[in-house]
Amino acid sequence: MGVTEKKQLMSATEIDRTLQRLAHEIVEKSGGTANLALIGIRRRGVPLAHRIAKAMRGIDGVDVPVGTLDITLYRDDLSKVAQHPVLHSSDIPFGVDDKDLILVDDVLYTGRTIRAAMNGLFDQGRPQRVRLAVLIDRGHRELPIEASFVGRHVQTSSSEIIEVRLSEVDDQERVMLVERVN
Amino acid sequence: MPERLRHLLAIEPLTAEQIVFLLDEAKPFQEFQRYPLKKLATLRGKTAALAFFEPSTRTRISFATAASRLGADTMNLQAETSSLKKGESLLDTVRTLDAMKPDCIVIRHSSSGAADFVASRLEIPIINAGDGMHEHPTQALLDALTIRDRRGSLEGLRVTIIGDILHSRVARSNMHLLGKFGCHFTLCGPAMWVPREWECSGLRVRRTSRIADALEGADVVIVLRVQQERLHEPALPLDEYILLYQLTPERLRLARPDAIVMHPGPMIRGLEIDPAVADGPQSCILEQVTNGLAVRMALLFLLIGTGSESDQPKGSTHAAD
């Protein structure tokens, strides 16, 4: 099984502009940033959360704390994983109790990752509110989960894959639409 | 990523890469022990059989707690109450356990090789929790995790082991593990307890019966329990052992100032270790216990938490990568 690149969905500039907009929306719709914190879902949600936090500093001068969450232990498909999964530490350097949290991920697809993330989050306390910000919403939900902040909606077929490539993780900066070919 | 592990029977056959992977996998579980809510559902519906054919308190509790925090259930077999007393063979006992369909068996047995024997006859993953004088791999892993946390690395450390090394599966597993990272060993104790078996092992091993020699420049000091039942084999009076081999604050000053002190437990204060050392800033004895949970959670997760069906593509959840 291989993959072919179909087209570029976002350039580096477009990613940046979208994150700026998301940062503005979050500030605007939060009614104050005092209680706000961002939680990046490993792996690519983490650099995105840091970038949004940086953009928010530029808007309001507010320092919004950023945590990271590894959801591997909360996945619902571990019985189908043949390789040993690589675990990473979650690092949430603040108590989540009564916080106004924004989960950040790159792509919203089935919603299962977000379900896992919420379970992981609630193991650490009881946030006052949890919202979700994603760079891309590609549809095909399997759970009743929606994002509060969406960078871009993209229509996809289930054989397509959206690859968000970020300079912190990958050696390039863009969003690609890729197709699985048998 | 190293090849998928099926069992954990011993440290000796593992590669340094596999060991580093296991230690890295234990890191998130170290952090997990600080969560207010120490319960995962990751192994919900799985069962770990704990087959302890030899008395054990701490290792059994550690495995049982690790399983429980991952959401797994345990089946307990203890030597004192089991049919072993009635003469059932090891194989029949584990086959009976296996027939109750656990997902793995954690086994401790007084015979070296017992875990291997069981692994070769059953289809499910086996974790060796100590077999005779052979190995105690999870102890070596938790020790390595503790050392790596305190010293930053395992490479090339000077490791001193004091006590009954001959009969110690803890010492043997630790040497196999740390030897893969180029550590130098000094083995110290009464001559009858300091084996020569390592001389041809390719490891850098020095033997001495003088504790002052042994401690000089050490980075890590591992104190072993004195099995009092062995002191008479040949006779060694207890007070003489204390005089010659007890780790005291004065003696510990011969080691590096940042040396760490470890003990696999159960420790007897005032025998092999001075209470001031056991409770001192260089002691990591309680960290070892906490790290034991982390290592055992990681192992249970790896061995029974994921499917072993081959070539399954990454799930549709877009989850980990």
CATH number at residue B189: 3.40.50.1370
Residue in B302, B309, B317 closest to A75 by CB: B317
DSSP character at residue A35: T
CB burial class (10 A; 0-12, 13-18, 19+) of residue B20? middle
Query: Domain range spanning residue B67?
Result: 16-134+289-304
Residue B130 falls inside a structural domain: yes
- Tally of CB atoms within 10 A around A9: 20
Shared-domain flag, residues B242 and B300:
no
**Through-space distance between the first and last CA atoms of chain A, rounded to whole angstroms:** 5
Residue B296 falls inside a structural domain: yes
Q: What are B144-198's pLDDT values in tens digits?
A: 999 999 999 999 999 999 999 999 999 999 999 999 999 999 999 999 899 998 8
Residue in B28, B39, B310 closest to A88 by CB: B28
For residue A43, say if its preceding peptide bond is cis, omega within 30 degrees of 0: yes
Shared-domain flag, residues B112 and B151:
no
**Chain B residues inside the 8 Å CB shell of A87:** 24-25, 27-29, 298, 301
Closest C-alpha among B321, B184, B107, B65 to residue A113: B321
Dump the DSSP string for B159-220.
Answer: EEEES--TT-HHHHHHHHHHHTTT-EEEEES-GGGS-SGGGGSSSEEEEES-HHHHHTT-SE
Shared-domain flag, residues B109 and B149:
no
- Tally of CB atoms within 10 A around A154: 17
**Chain A residues inside the 8 Å CB shell of B125:** none
Residue in A75, A82, A87 closest to B319 by CB: A75
Shortest alpha-carbon distance between residue B149 and chain A (Å): 15
Q: How far apart are CA B51 and CA B32, in angstroms?
A: 26
- B319/A1 CB distance under 8 A: no
If one counts the domains in chain B, the total is: 2
Domain boundaries, chain A: 13-78+87-154
- A82/B4 CB distance under 8 A: yes
- Say how many CB pairs under 8 Å bridge A and B: 105
Shared-domain flag, residues B194 and B104:
no
Shared-domain flag, residues B76 and B194:
no
For the whole model, what pTM was predicted? Answer: 0.91
Residue B311 falls inside a structural domain: no
Shared-domain flag, residues B237 and B206:
yes
Shared-domain flag, residues B147 and B273:
yes
Shared-domain flag, residues B104 and B144:
no
Q: What are B238-254's pLDDT values in tens digits?
A: 899 999 999 999 999 99
Give average pLDDT by consecutive 10-residue segment, chain A, 182 residues: 89 97 95 92 97 92 93 92 90 94 98 96 94 97 98 95 96 94 78
Q: What is the pLDDT at residue B234?
A: 65
Q: Please say if the pLDDT value at position B265 is more than 60.
A: yes
Shared-domain flag, residues B150 and B257:
yes
Shortest alpha-carbon distance between residue A59 and chain B (Å): 32
Shared-domain flag, residues B83 and B177:
no
Shared-domain flag, residues B28 and B101:
yes
- A124/B310 CB distance under 8 A: no
Shared-domain flag, residues B223 and B235:
yes
Shortest alpha-carbon distance between residue A61 and chain B (Å): 32
Residue B4 falls inside a structural domain: no
**Chain B residues inside the 8 Å CB shell of A75:** 315, 317, 319-320
Q: What architecture is domain A13-78+87-154? A: 3-Layer(aba) Sandwich (3.40)
Q: A72: which residues sit within 8 A by CB, 6+ positions away?
A: A78, A85, A86, A87, A88, B319, B320
A87 in contact with chain B, both atoms CB, cutoff 8 A: yes
Q: Please say if the pLDDT value at position B106 is more than 50.
A: yes
Kindly state the average pLDDT of the residues B201-223.
95
Residue B128 falls inside a structural domain: yes
Shortest alpha-carbon distance between residue B122 and chain A (Å): 20
- A113/B31 CB distance under 8 A: no
